[in-house]
Amino acid sequence: MNISIIVGLQNRDRGIGFEGGQPYHSKQDFNRFKELTMGSVCIMGRKTMDDIGRKLPGRECIVVTRNKDYKAPQGVHAVSSYEEAKAKAREFTGRRVFNIGGSSLYKIGITDKDTDRIFVTRYLGHKECDRYFPRFEMMFEKVFETEKPKKDTDSKTDEEIFFHFEEWVRL
């Protein structure tokens, strides 16, 4: 099976999260995420599910947790390992599959040969982060990058934010 990773990372240190949330909040990035993942199967870690808080509309959501008593949000499938998540995803024949994070799921995804593509939003900023995306540039090749940085206003802080969209494929 083919799995795509989708991530918004900070260029400086590959930071992706802080205190359970995301450091950047761009409507353009949100729309790209929605466009790419709509109709797909999204695999995520339990903490990312907690951050999102509900099933992503129009997508099958699979959450990975070691907690056997975990109460998944309505319509979300809970599994106990990444392998089990992949097996569950295979049941949705013909659907694209995404690993949407967080850091622990990205770490597994990067070394999993089924991950053939990474959609990166690369933020040009200096925010404090406590979760990071693993190094991946030696295993993947960049096949697309927006020429000029895109600009948006952070929907939470009202600050100007700049970023590139990129696409990488496994070497």
Ligand X SMILES: NC(=O)c1ccc[n+]([C@@H]2O[C@H](COP(=O)([O-])OP(=O)(O)OC[C@H]3O[C@@H](n4cnc5c(N)ncnc54)[C@H](OP(=O)(O)O)[C@@H]3O)[C@@H](O)[C@H]2O)c1
Q: What is the spatial distance between Cα 124 and Cα 160, in angstroms, rounded to a whole number?
A: 11
Q: What is the spatial distance between Cα 119 and Cα 136, in angstroms, rounded to a whole number?
A: 12
- Binding flag, residue 47, ligand X (CB under 6 A): yes
- Binding flag, residue 154, ligand X (CB under 6 A): no
- Binding flag, residue 7, ligand X (CB under 6 A): yes
Q: Residues 80 to 99: which contact ligand X by CB under 6 A?
A: 80-82
Member of 3, 42, 105, 110 binding ligand X (CB under 6 A): 105
Q: What is the spatial distance between Cα 121 and Cα 108, in angstroms, rounded to a whole number?
A: 20
Q: Which of 40, 47, 26, 152 is nearest to 106 (CA)?
A: 47
Q: How far is the CB of 94 from ligand X (least distance, A)?
A: 25
What mask, x for binding ligand X by CB under 6 A, covers residues 49 to 78? --x------------xxxx--x--------
DSSP state of 85: H
- Binding flag, residue 103, ligand X (CB under 6 A): yes
Q: How far is the CB of 42 from ligand X (least distance, A)?
A: 10
Q: How far is the CB of 121 from ligand X (least distance, A)?
A: 7
Q: How far is the CB of 126 from ligand X (least distance, A)?
A: 15
Residue 82 or 93: the one with the smaller Cβ distance to ligand X is 82
Member of 16, 43, 89, 97 binding ligand X (CB under 6 A): 16
Cα–Cα distances in Å, from 129 out to 20, 133, 140?
10, 11, 24
Residue 101 CB partners (closer than 8 Å, separation 6+): 6, 7, 16, 17, 44, 45, 48
Q: What is the spatial distance between Cα 122 and Cα 145, in angstroms, rounded to a whole number?
A: 10
Contact set with ligand X (CB under 6 A): 7-8, 16-17, 20-22, 44-48, 51, 64-67, 70, 80-82, 100-105, 131
